[in-house]
A and B are shown apart, each in its own frame.
Chain A
Amino acid sequence: MLSFAGAVFRALTLGLFALLLLVSLPQTALHVVRRAGYAVAHWNESPLAARRRILGEPYADAVARIRRAIPPGGEYLLVNGRSEWEGGPYWARFELAPRRARFLGLWSELPDGETLRRRLPPQPSLVVIAFRDGEPPVLMDRETFLRELDRFHDGC
């Protein structure tokens, strides 16, 4: 009796294992076909075109503008323009590396412009505001940023 139950259990387990393989196959095949199709379609794509395709044209162009304004060995102040934490600052920092970022925090949690001015070191002079994934980062000079911050606090 026990050996019969064991045989049934083994058969059921092997059936489930076969099911695992069967249900996984279509998803994997879809991945492979999609990736292979992309590879063929974009076999000789320039890096800029690939970045525009993946990041979106506005985002890629905004990053290119900021890169022109800040040299590769340069520095910038980085602000999270959202009111809650998202990955936007990571992605902006990644796109702008090896430029070094000094992180100021969430826009909504920053003090007014005058208070922040007293806390900031003399350099860097440019500020990058990062938003959510896909939303282009914004570059401004320090004075404009502090004015915008004052306007935000006045409006609150």
Chain B
Amino acid sequence: MTAAEKLAGLAGVLLFAAAGLGWLQLLAGARSLPGSRGLAAAYLLGVGWVGGSLYALSHFGGVPLRRPAVLAVAVAPAVVGLLAWAHRRRAGPQVAPRRSRRRWSWLERAAFAIAIAVFVGVLAESLTNPLRDWDGRMTWVTQARYVRAEGTVDARALAEPQWYVTHPQYPLLLPLAQVAVQELAGVSDDVHAFRPFYAGFLFVFFALLYGFPRRRVGRSTAALTVMTAALLPLPTFFPGGGAASGYSDLPLACFYAAGLLLLLTRRLRIADGVAAGLLLAAAVLSKNEGTPLALAALFLGALAQLPARRGRPSGRWRRLAPAGVAAVLVAMAVGLLVSWRSGIPNRYDEDYGHLLSLAALWPAAVTRLPLLLPKIRFEMIAFQHWSLFWSVAPLVLLAGWRGLRRRGAAYLALAALAPLAVAWIAYSVNPDPTDIVRTSWNRFLLQASIPILILFSFALDDLMRRSSWLPRDLTP
């Protein structure tokens, strides 16, 4: 890419952040997120909103997927958010309690330096090299080209059964976000100006991993968790699913975790429910697995909001209202997906809808364990995928088990299991499970990685607190 095209690609990424910042201004709860967490939330909301609204406008309204539509859906929330911000300023000065800022320790500085260096490295890769990975070229970016060429999500290449398209019914949110960047940048398909958009999810990944644990564990522990994540090959540089690829797994991991973490916070407001709903709706529209994951997040979020038996029943229902609002938005996304898929004949796809039955699931879910577990273990201990993480993490969880008694840990554990349960169901019914374990297990782990790493931070915190011999700088 020329320098001008690189800048155009980066400007496209900023478009999502601008749209998302507008949404943050409108959503009273999420607006109070500080610095990097606010920017990460804005990026996710922006991608979800721009991609999702283009999806709906194109499918239901026949709106052409061209620059005017992209600008309209991206600029509208940014302008409304700006007006809301200006109105609040006019109404009176905001008296936000100022938190006392503590200086960063050397450990925090080292962790952030590593995370920033890794993000810059991934960004450099995305700005320098054309896409070379498998699924990005086989599915996502090819679909984006069909959709962009015809200016509609109901492109002939997808809707007519004779054309050779792999997984034509895969949800199109991320290809649409890619089209938005390309349309805004005004570049040809050969210009990989969309790649920084995928790299942006790495920043979100780090921000979620620092932001959520930071209030629950020591800052050194939160920083060490970010450092651990930054040093993992799979979410970063690995071409089969990380931020340096064109896969949808890291974005799905971020949407799923961000929606879930929001629903797990105390004293949820309706605005938080809207934000969580937008994030989980984006998960639904990102990948096939997005729908079960969004449902799992809604269920766990609702469960976390249910108070103990004391208190009036009406109060209980009021506490569930934000999760209910999120459920409505998720249902709308599922409706859009079902409607769009009804016009897309499925082919060149495993078609799990037909494979899945109780007879297929049982007893294969158990009898395939001896066949698949060694292959799963092989994927997890491969240094090029996870370094030594899966050799060390179980020990950290065991040694720091007291940290796992924190509020929310049980929900996070269940949330981490949800993508793995989806994987296991797929492996149980697929006629060739050994091959798909090789190509997909790591990506299911990636989808579960944020809850897993947060649980890891809880255990690490406990472990470090109880190791009195550690230097003071390292003790949380």
Contacts and interface: CB of A to CB of B under 8 A. Distances in A.
Interface of A: 7, 9-14, 16-17, 19-21, 23-25, 27-29, 31-33, 35-36, 38-39, 42-48, 50-51, 54-55, 72-73, 78, 87, 89-91, 93-94, 97-98, 100-103, 121
A72 B466 CA distance: 64
A33 to B, nearest CB: 8
A99 B132 CA distance: 20
B387 A27 contact: yes
A98 B463 contact: no
B145 A54 contact: no
B138 A90 contact: yes
Which are the 6 A-B pairs with shortest beta-carbon distances?
A98-B149, A32-B121, A39-B124, A103-B164, A24-B231, A97-B145
Given A24-B232, A72-B149, 20 more contacts: A9-B399, A10-B399, A11-B469, A20-B228, A20-B392, A25-B231, A28-B231, A28-B237, A31-B236, A35-B128, A42-B128, A47-B2, A47-B191, A54-B129, A87-B134, A90-B134, A97-B146, A97-B189, A98-B155, A100-B156
B339 to A, nearest CB: 23
B314 interface: no
A13 B399 contact: yes
A102 B163 contact: yes
A12 B469 CA distance: 13
B1 A45 contact: yes
B231 A21 contact: yes
A31 B123 CA distance: 12
B138 A94 contact: yes
B190 interface: yes
Contacts of B470: 14
A27 B120 CA distance: 15
Contact of A54 (B127, B132, B149, B162): B132
Given A9-B399, A10-B463, A28-B118, A20 B389 contact: yes
B388 interface: yes
- Determine the main DSSP class of A at the interface with B: helix
A47 B146 CA distance: 20
Contacts of A47: 1-2, 5, 130, 188, 190-192
B66 interface: no
Given A20-B388, A73-B149, A98-B145, A44 B138 contact: no
Interface string B82-94: 0000000000000
Interface in B121-167: 121-122, 124-125, 127-130, 132, 134, 137-138, 141-142, 145-146, 148-150, 155-157, 162-164, 166
Most buried by B among A17, A23, A29: A17
A90 B137 CA distance: 7
B137 to A, nearest CB: 4
Contacts of B141: 94
A40 to B, nearest CB: 8
A16 B149 contact: no
B95 interface: no
A64 B166 CA distance: 23
A46 B5 CA distance: 9
10 contacts: A9-B399, A13-B399, A16-B391, A31-B237, A43-B3, A47-B2, A50-B128, A87-B138, A93-B142, A100-B163
Contacts of B227: 21
A94 B134 CA distance: 10
A36 B121 contact: yes
Contacts of A78: 164
